[in-house]
Amino acid sequence: MPRIEATEFPRESIADIPNGVPEPFVGLWSVGFPEGEGMINGAPITTCAAPVTLNGSGNGTLTYLSPTGDEVAFELSAFSGRTTWLPAMGESLVAVWISTDEFYLYSVDLTTGRARWDNPHAYRRCL
């Protein structure tokens, strides 16, 4: 089966979603992998039965609460048609909206500052 190339995953969000603000992210999310032809998907990382919770604040901060209770705050920034999530410590993340109910989240290598475009996690809104 051919490997999906990094250039095949989107690097800019759809126009319907504003970048750099927490409001579109607020809600409950399952986390898995992009789906499509030629991709092999394992089990989701988390499902809507035990979702990730994202909460926004008026100061442009997004709070990520994992199903295990771990919590991280991110400062959001719009950059090149996407949203950068900046934690106080550690790797930043890049969010690219695929639809109003799905975005891909890419980690950014601390040493090079480059996004890992070939390895996104797919966040799907729990409805």
pLDDT of residue 92: 97
pLDDT of residue 38: 64
Give one DSSP letter per residue of the chain, joined into a string.
Answer: -PPPPGGGS--S--TTS-SS-SGGG-EEEEEE----TT----S-SB-TTS-EEEEE-TTSEEEEE-TTS-EEEEEEEEETTEEEEEESSS--EEEEEEETTEEEEEEB-TTT--B-TT-PEEEEE--
Please write the tens of the pLDDT for every residue from 76-94. 999 999 999 999 999 999 9
pLDDT of residue 60: 87
> Which residues of the chain fall below pLDDT 50?
1-4, 6
pLDDT of residue 37: 67
